[in-house]
Amino acid sequence: MTKKEKVEKIIAFLEELYPTTPIPLDHKDPYTLLIAVLLSAQCTDKKVNQITPSLFAKADNPYDMIKMSVEEIKAIIRPCGLSPMKSKGIHGLSKILIEEHEGKVPESFEALEALPAVGHKTASVVMSQAFGVPAFPVDTHIHRLAWRWGLTTGKNVKQTEKDLKRLFPESIWNKLHLQIIFFGREYCPAKKHDPYLCPLCKDMARKAVFDEAAKRQKG
């Protein structure tokens, strides 16, 4: 199967499977989305959604957030992991939003990525989901599936993002990245994955994926 055929199959199949793509992280505006995405680093969306109500009850805007100390923020978000770094980032970026952006989340990749603890993936999610700007945030799910399907040889998410942007129409990036995430969680997990039973891998996975499954079965 050629890459073009794979792309067409993926688009059609995922559109049928996931015609709507609700945003996984609970939020009410760009600021609360930004904080939720920051917290989701090396943490599940489910856990983040359990933690953010407590945080946002105290501070759901940068003005209230900077009234809290870094230690107070850290105590609330500790279950999300990486709390020392994340708490400093949340407090620091909230201060910058007030000082440089009138308390609003900026609508540009450059400005977002200049904020503490905000990398390209976080900025891409905010630009895509908060502002509707075409972006293709690549997380571990998307990186894994893109490699399994032979759409990229990238060793990192940066290269995978470039390859996927080249293959798929820009008009569907925002929806497709969520569809792939949903599919990865439901059908194409990182561990104990059987490509013969996976609705997409069974037809388009690279040989190494089947070889790995065979070794696992023998072992």
What are the residue numbers of the active site? 121, 139
The angle at the Cα of 185, spanning 198 to 83, to the nearest 5 degrees, equals 155
Nearest to 206 by CA among 165, 153, 136, 169: 153
| Cα 152 to Cα 73, 141, 163, distances in angstroms | 39, 14, 6
DSSP state letter for 179: H
Nearest to 146 by CA among 133, 165, 132, 129: 165
Nearest to 198 by CA among 25, 66, 10, 48: 10
Q: In angstroms, how far is the first alpha carbon of the chain from the final one? A: 30
Q: Are 51 and 68 in contact (CB under 8 A)?
A: no
Q: Distance between CA atoms of 67 and 65, rounded to whole angstroms? A: 5
- 3-class SS at 21? coil
